[in-house]
Amino acid sequence: MTNVTDEEIAPLAGMRVIELSSFVAAPLGGMTLAQLGADVVRVDPLGGGPDARRWPLAPSGRSLYWAGLNKGKRSVTVDLRSARGRELVAAMAVAAGTVLTNAPPRAGLSYEELAERRPDLVYARLLGHRDGRPAVDYTVNAGLGLPYVTGPAGHDGPVNHVLPAWDVACGLYLAVGLLAAEHRRAATGRGRRIDLALHDVALATAGNLGFLAEAQLHAAGRPRIGNDLYGDFGRDFVTADGRRLMVLVLTERHWRDLVAATGLTRVVSALEQALPTSAPSPTGTPTARRWPGCSRRGSPPVRPPRLRRAWRARRCCGRATGRSRTWPPVGPRRCGASR
Protein backbone atom coordinates (compact mmCIF):
# COMPACT_ATOMS: atom_id res chain seq x y z
CA MET A 1 0.00 0.00 0.00
CA THR A 2 1.38 3.41 -0.97
CA ASN A 3 1.95 5.86 1.85
CA VAL A 4 0.31 9.26 1.24
CA THR A 5 2.11 12.31 2.61
CA ASP A 6 0.38 15.36 4.04
CA GLU A 7 1.46 17.36 0.98
CA GLU A 8 -0.41 14.95 -1.32
CA ILE A 9 -3.71 15.24 0.56
CA ALA A 10 -5.97 17.89 -0.95
CA PRO A 11 -6.97 20.67 1.49
CA LEU A 12 -10.69 19.80 1.38
CA ALA A 13 -10.34 16.04 1.27
CA GLY A 14 -13.17 14.41 3.23
CA MET A 15 -15.63 17.26 2.65
CA ARG A 16 -18.73 16.46 0.60
CA VAL A 17 -20.91 19.12 -1.03
CA ILE A 18 -24.27 18.59 -2.71
CA GLU A 19 -24.64 21.07 -5.56
CA LEU A 20 -27.90 22.07 -7.25
CA SER A 21 -26.93 24.75 -9.73
CA SER A 22 -26.86 26.09 -13.26
CA PHE A 23 -25.14 28.73 -15.40
CA VAL A 24 -21.88 30.33 -14.14
CA ALA A 25 -21.50 31.55 -10.56
CA ALA A 26 -22.80 28.59 -8.54
CA PRO A 27 -21.16 25.90 -10.73
CA LEU A 28 -17.90 27.85 -10.56
CA GLY A 29 -18.15 27.92 -6.77
CA GLY A 30 -18.63 24.15 -6.72
CA MET A 31 -15.79 23.64 -9.19
CA THR A 32 -13.49 25.69 -6.96
CA LEU A 33 -14.29 23.45 -4.00
CA ALA A 34 -13.76 20.33 -6.14
CA GLN A 35 -10.37 21.57 -7.28
CA LEU A 36 -9.41 21.95 -3.63
CA GLY A 37 -10.31 18.32 -3.00
CA ALA A 38 -13.95 18.37 -1.91
CA ASP A 39 -16.26 15.64 -3.15
CA VAL A 40 -18.79 17.76 -5.03
CA VAL A 41 -21.86 15.84 -6.18
CA ARG A 42 -23.86 17.74 -8.77
CA VAL A 43 -27.60 17.03 -8.96
CA ASP A 44 -29.04 17.34 -12.46
CA PRO A 45 -32.65 17.01 -13.60
CA LEU A 46 -33.60 14.38 -16.14
CA GLY A 47 -32.41 15.44 -19.58
CA GLY A 48 -29.94 17.96 -18.15
CA GLY A 49 -30.28 21.43 -16.69
CA PRO A 50 -31.02 24.68 -18.57
CA ASP A 51 -27.33 25.23 -19.22
CA ALA A 52 -26.41 21.71 -20.35
CA ARG A 53 -26.16 22.72 -24.02
CA ARG A 54 -25.04 26.30 -23.66
CA TRP A 55 -22.49 27.68 -26.13
CA PRO A 56 -19.62 27.36 -26.90
CA LEU A 57 -20.05 23.84 -28.23
CA ALA A 58 -17.62 21.13 -29.26
CA PRO A 59 -17.96 19.65 -32.79
CA SER A 60 -19.91 16.84 -31.14
CA GLY A 61 -22.51 19.34 -29.94
CA ARG A 62 -21.50 19.02 -26.28
CA SER A 63 -21.23 22.20 -24.24
CA LEU A 64 -17.63 23.25 -23.61
CA TYR A 65 -18.97 25.80 -21.18
CA TRP A 66 -20.79 23.17 -19.10
CA ALA A 67 -17.85 20.77 -19.14
CA GLY A 68 -15.43 23.49 -18.05
CA LEU A 69 -17.48 24.64 -15.07
CA ASN A 70 -18.26 21.14 -13.82
CA LYS A 71 -14.93 19.36 -14.07
CA GLY A 72 -13.82 17.41 -11.04
CA LYS A 73 -17.37 16.79 -9.81
CA ARG A 74 -19.51 13.70 -9.60
CA SER A 75 -23.05 13.80 -10.94
CA VAL A 76 -26.38 12.20 -10.24
CA THR A 77 -29.52 12.59 -12.37
CA VAL A 78 -32.76 12.79 -10.43
CA ASP A 79 -36.39 13.55 -11.25
CA LEU A 80 -36.74 16.60 -9.02
CA ARG A 81 -40.41 16.95 -9.93
CA SER A 82 -41.26 13.78 -8.04
CA ALA A 83 -41.50 13.52 -4.27
CA ARG A 84 -39.33 10.41 -4.36
CA GLY A 85 -36.59 12.21 -6.29
CA ARG A 86 -36.62 15.21 -3.94
CA GLU A 87 -36.45 12.91 -0.92
CA LEU A 88 -33.42 11.18 -2.42
CA VAL A 89 -31.64 14.54 -2.82
CA ALA A 90 -32.71 15.62 0.67
CA ALA A 91 -31.22 12.45 2.14
CA MET A 92 -27.96 13.14 0.26
CA ALA A 93 -27.89 16.73 1.59
CA VAL A 94 -28.54 15.63 5.16
CA ALA A 95 -25.80 13.02 4.97
CA ALA A 96 -23.28 15.44 3.44
CA GLY A 97 -24.19 18.38 5.67
CA THR A 98 -23.22 20.97 3.05
CA VAL A 99 -25.30 22.34 0.16
CA LEU A 100 -24.45 24.85 -2.57
CA THR A 101 -27.26 26.04 -4.82
CA ASN A 102 -28.78 28.75 -6.97
CA ALA A 103 -31.87 26.67 -7.76
CA PRO A 104 -35.37 27.89 -6.90
CA PRO A 105 -36.64 26.36 -3.64
CA ARG A 106 -38.38 23.02 -4.01
CA ALA A 107 -40.54 21.22 -1.51
CA GLY A 108 -38.37 19.31 0.92
CA LEU A 109 -35.11 20.98 -0.19
CA SER A 110 -35.28 24.40 1.48
CA TYR A 111 -32.81 25.36 4.20
CA GLU A 112 -35.51 25.28 6.88
CA GLU A 113 -36.67 21.79 5.97
CA LEU A 114 -33.17 20.35 5.66
CA ALA A 115 -31.95 22.03 8.86
CA GLU A 116 -34.74 20.32 10.80
CA ARG A 117 -33.12 17.04 9.84
CA ARG A 118 -29.52 18.26 10.09
CA PRO A 119 -29.20 21.17 12.57
CA ASP A 120 -25.53 21.84 11.73
CA LEU A 121 -26.27 22.16 8.01
CA VAL A 122 -24.20 24.60 5.97
CA TYR A 123 -26.40 25.90 3.15
CA ALA A 124 -25.01 28.45 0.65
CA ARG A 125 -27.50 29.92 -1.78
CA LEU A 126 -26.87 32.36 -4.62
CA LEU A 127 -29.51 34.99 -5.44
CA GLY A 128 -29.80 37.68 -8.10
CA HIS A 129 -30.92 40.42 -5.70
CA ARG A 130 -31.11 40.03 -1.95
CA ASP A 131 -34.90 40.41 -2.05
CA GLY A 132 -35.15 37.40 -4.34
CA ARG A 133 -35.62 39.23 -7.65
CA PRO A 134 -33.75 37.57 -10.52
CA ALA A 135 -30.58 39.01 -12.04
CA VAL A 136 -27.73 37.80 -14.20
CA ASP A 137 -24.24 39.12 -14.77
CA TYR A 138 -25.05 41.16 -17.86
CA THR A 139 -28.06 42.89 -16.30
CA VAL A 140 -26.15 43.66 -13.11
CA ASN A 141 -23.24 45.07 -15.11
CA ALA A 142 -25.61 47.28 -17.08
CA GLY A 143 -27.27 48.47 -13.87
CA LEU A 144 -23.91 49.63 -12.52
CA GLY A 145 -23.39 51.81 -15.59
CA LEU A 146 -20.06 50.26 -16.54
CA PRO A 147 -21.05 49.72 -20.20
CA TYR A 148 -21.03 53.52 -20.57
CA VAL A 149 -17.31 53.75 -19.70
CA THR A 150 -16.37 50.64 -21.70
CA GLY A 151 -15.33 50.74 -25.34
CA PRO A 152 -13.55 53.14 -27.68
CA ALA A 153 -13.54 56.88 -27.13
CA GLY A 154 -16.32 58.59 -29.01
CA HIS A 155 -18.51 55.50 -29.23
CA ASP A 156 -22.19 56.25 -28.80
CA GLY A 157 -24.08 53.70 -26.75
CA PRO A 158 -23.27 51.08 -24.10
CA VAL A 159 -20.66 48.35 -24.58
CA ASN A 160 -21.17 45.30 -22.38
CA HIS A 161 -18.21 43.21 -21.30
CA VAL A 162 -17.78 39.78 -22.90
CA LEU A 163 -16.40 38.30 -19.66
CA PRO A 164 -19.04 37.57 -16.96
CA ALA A 165 -16.80 39.11 -14.33
CA TRP A 166 -19.47 39.44 -11.64
CA ASP A 167 -20.43 35.78 -12.03
CA VAL A 168 -16.79 34.79 -11.59
CA ALA A 169 -16.35 36.99 -8.52
CA CYS A 170 -19.63 35.77 -7.06
CA GLY A 171 -18.72 32.12 -7.56
CA LEU A 172 -15.46 32.61 -5.69
CA TYR A 173 -17.18 34.56 -2.90
CA LEU A 174 -19.72 31.76 -2.64
CA ALA A 175 -16.93 29.20 -2.16
CA VAL A 176 -15.18 31.39 0.41
CA GLY A 177 -18.40 31.99 2.33
CA LEU A 178 -19.19 28.30 2.40
CA LEU A 179 -15.70 27.49 3.68
CA ALA A 180 -16.01 30.18 6.37
CA ALA A 181 -19.27 28.58 7.53
CA GLU A 182 -17.62 25.17 7.46
CA HIS A 183 -14.79 26.51 9.62
CA ARG A 184 -17.31 27.96 12.07
CA ARG A 185 -19.16 24.65 12.23
CA ALA A 186 -15.93 22.81 13.01
CA ALA A 187 -15.28 25.22 15.89
CA THR A 188 -18.81 25.55 17.32
CA GLY A 189 -20.85 22.66 15.95
CA ARG A 190 -23.41 25.11 14.55
CA GLY A 191 -24.56 25.30 10.96
CA ARG A 192 -25.14 28.36 8.86
CA ARG A 193 -27.34 29.65 6.07
CA ILE A 194 -25.59 31.91 3.56
CA ASP A 195 -27.53 34.05 1.09
CA LEU A 196 -25.23 35.77 -1.39
CA ALA A 197 -26.67 38.19 -3.97
CA LEU A 198 -24.97 38.76 -7.31
CA HIS A 199 -25.99 42.42 -7.30
CA ASP A 200 -24.48 42.93 -3.83
CA VAL A 201 -21.17 41.42 -4.93
CA ALA A 202 -21.00 43.72 -7.95
CA LEU A 203 -21.95 46.83 -5.97
CA ALA A 204 -19.51 46.04 -3.16
CA THR A 205 -16.71 45.42 -5.65
CA ALA A 206 -17.42 48.72 -7.38
CA GLY A 207 -17.14 50.38 -3.98
CA ASN A 208 -13.95 48.51 -3.09
CA LEU A 209 -12.33 49.67 -6.33
CA GLY A 210 -13.22 53.31 -5.70
CA PHE A 211 -15.76 53.58 -8.53
CA LEU A 212 -18.62 54.69 -6.28
CA ALA A 213 -16.54 57.25 -4.36
CA GLU A 214 -15.18 58.62 -7.64
CA ALA A 215 -18.71 59.14 -8.94
CA GLN A 216 -19.76 60.87 -5.72
CA LEU A 217 -16.74 63.15 -5.45
CA HIS A 218 -16.26 64.19 -9.08
CA ALA A 219 -19.05 65.73 -11.11
CA ALA A 220 -17.43 64.90 -14.43
CA GLY A 221 -18.00 61.26 -15.33
CA ARG A 222 -15.13 59.00 -16.24
CA PRO A 223 -14.59 59.10 -20.02
CA ARG A 224 -14.25 56.19 -22.37
CA ILE A 225 -10.59 55.74 -23.22
CA GLY A 226 -10.56 52.57 -25.33
CA ASN A 227 -7.51 50.44 -24.64
CA ASP A 228 -5.74 53.09 -22.58
CA LEU A 229 -5.34 52.41 -18.87
CA TYR A 230 -7.14 54.86 -16.64
CA GLY A 231 -4.76 56.63 -14.24
CA ASP A 232 -1.56 54.97 -15.51
CA PHE A 233 0.27 54.49 -18.77
CA GLY A 234 -1.07 51.51 -20.66
CA ARG A 235 -2.22 51.00 -24.23
CA ASP A 236 -1.94 48.65 -27.20
CA PHE A 237 0.59 49.14 -29.98
CA VAL A 238 0.80 47.69 -33.47
CA THR A 239 4.12 46.03 -34.30
CA ALA A 240 5.87 46.23 -37.69
CA ASP A 241 4.52 42.79 -38.65
CA GLY A 242 0.94 43.78 -37.88
CA ARG A 243 0.57 42.18 -34.45
CA ARG A 244 -0.68 43.94 -31.36
CA LEU A 245 0.78 44.01 -27.89
CA MET A 246 -0.22 45.70 -24.67
CA VAL A 247 2.37 47.89 -22.96
CA LEU A 248 1.64 48.69 -19.34
CA VAL A 249 3.33 50.78 -16.66
CA LEU A 250 2.21 50.66 -13.02
CA THR A 251 5.19 52.08 -11.10
CA GLU A 252 7.84 54.73 -11.55
CA ARG A 253 10.48 52.04 -11.97
CA HIS A 254 8.42 50.40 -14.72
CA TRP A 255 8.27 53.73 -16.56
CA ARG A 256 12.02 54.30 -16.33
CA ASP A 257 12.68 50.75 -17.51
CA LEU A 258 10.26 51.12 -20.43
CA VAL A 259 11.83 54.36 -21.59
CA ALA A 260 15.32 52.88 -21.32
CA ALA A 261 14.37 49.61 -23.05
CA THR A 262 12.82 51.45 -26.00
CA GLY A 263 15.76 53.85 -26.34
CA LEU A 264 13.57 56.88 -25.81
CA THR A 265 15.32 58.52 -22.87
CA ARG A 266 16.46 61.60 -24.80
CA VAL A 267 13.19 61.98 -26.68
CA VAL A 268 11.05 61.64 -23.57
CA SER A 269 13.27 64.08 -21.68
CA ALA A 270 12.77 66.59 -24.47
CA LEU A 271 9.05 65.95 -24.34
CA GLU A 272 9.06 66.63 -20.63
CA GLN A 273 10.48 70.07 -21.17
CA ALA A 274 7.80 70.89 -23.74
CA LEU A 275 4.77 69.60 -21.85
CA PRO A 276 2.83 71.70 -19.31
CA THR A 277 4.28 71.56 -15.82
CA SER A 278 1.04 71.26 -13.88
CA ALA A 279 -0.50 67.86 -13.29
CA PRO A 280 -4.18 67.41 -14.12
CA SER A 281 -6.53 66.49 -11.31
CA PRO A 282 -9.07 63.69 -11.78
CA THR A 283 -11.69 66.37 -12.54
CA GLY A 284 -9.57 67.90 -15.31
CA THR A 285 -8.60 71.02 -13.30
CA PRO A 286 -4.84 71.76 -13.40
CA THR A 287 -3.04 71.76 -10.08
CA ALA A 288 0.14 73.52 -9.10
CA ARG A 289 1.96 70.35 -8.07
CA ARG A 290 4.53 68.88 -10.41
CA TRP A 291 4.90 65.15 -10.76
CA PRO A 292 8.04 63.81 -9.07
CA GLY A 293 10.99 63.71 -11.45
CA CYS A 294 9.52 66.09 -14.03
CA SER A 295 12.10 68.80 -13.47
CA ARG A 296 15.21 66.65 -13.67
CA ARG A 297 16.98 67.23 -16.97
CA GLY A 298 18.51 64.23 -18.64
CA SER A 299 16.31 61.71 -16.90
CA PRO A 300 12.94 60.39 -18.03
CA PRO A 301 9.85 61.57 -16.20
CA VAL A 302 8.53 59.03 -13.78
CA ARG A 303 4.77 59.67 -13.90
CA PRO A 304 2.74 58.79 -16.96
CA PRO A 305 -0.46 60.93 -16.91
CA ARG A 306 0.75 63.63 -19.30
CA LEU A 307 3.20 61.49 -21.20
CA ARG A 308 0.51 59.09 -22.29
CA ARG A 309 -0.68 61.94 -24.52
CA ALA A 310 2.84 62.42 -25.82
CA TRP A 311 3.14 58.77 -26.80
CA ARG A 312 -0.17 59.04 -28.61
CA ALA A 313 1.12 62.13 -30.40
CA ARG A 314 4.25 60.26 -31.42
CA ARG A 315 2.24 57.41 -32.85
CA CYS A 316 -0.44 59.53 -34.59
CA CYS A 317 1.60 62.46 -35.84
CA GLY A 318 4.61 60.56 -37.10
CA ARG A 319 7.22 62.15 -34.87
CA ALA A 320 9.52 59.19 -34.71
CA THR A 321 12.50 58.61 -32.46
CA GLY A 322 15.76 60.07 -33.71
CA ARG A 323 14.30 62.70 -36.02
CA SER A 324 15.26 66.28 -35.48
CA ARG A 325 11.83 67.79 -34.89
CA THR A 326 10.51 70.14 -32.28
CA TRP A 327 7.82 68.76 -30.03
CA PRO A 328 5.07 71.36 -29.56
CA PRO A 329 3.41 71.77 -26.18
CA VAL A 330 0.29 69.70 -25.81
CA GLY A 331 -2.59 71.92 -26.85
CA PRO A 332 -5.81 71.26 -28.72
CA ARG A 333 -6.39 67.70 -29.73
CA ARG A 334 -4.55 66.78 -32.92
CA CYS A 335 -4.78 63.39 -34.61
CA GLY A 336 -6.08 61.84 -31.38
CA ALA A 337 -2.84 62.77 -29.67
CA SER A 338 -4.35 64.08 -26.46
CA ARG A 339 -7.41 63.49 -24.37
- Cβ-based neighbours of 101, under 8 Å, separated by 6 or more: 19, 20, 21, 26, 123, 124, 125, 126
Q: How many CB atoms lie within 10 A of CB 211?
A: 17
Residue 304 Cα distances to 30, 210, 253, 277, 299, angstroms = 42, 20, 11, 13, 14
Q: How far apart are CA 32 and CA 43, in angstroms?
A: 17
Distance CA 244, CA 242 (A): 7
Please tell me the distance from the alpha carbon of residue 103 to that of residue 95, in angstroms, as a whole number.
20
Is the Cβ–Cβ distance between 22 and 51 less than 8 Å? Answer: yes
Torsion 250-251-255-260 (CA) sign: negative
Q: Which of 150, 280, 292, 143 is nearest to 218 (CA)?
A: 280
Annotation marks residue 195 as catalytic: no
List, in sequence order, every beta strand (DSSP E) within 26-90.
39-45, 74-78
Q: Which of 6, 44, 120, 167 is catalytic?
A: 167
* Crossing angle of helices 265-274 and 307-317, rounded to 10°: 110
In DSSP terms, 248 is beta-bridged to 234
3-state helix, strand, coil in the chain (%, to 5): 35, 15, 50
Residues annotated as part of the active site: 167
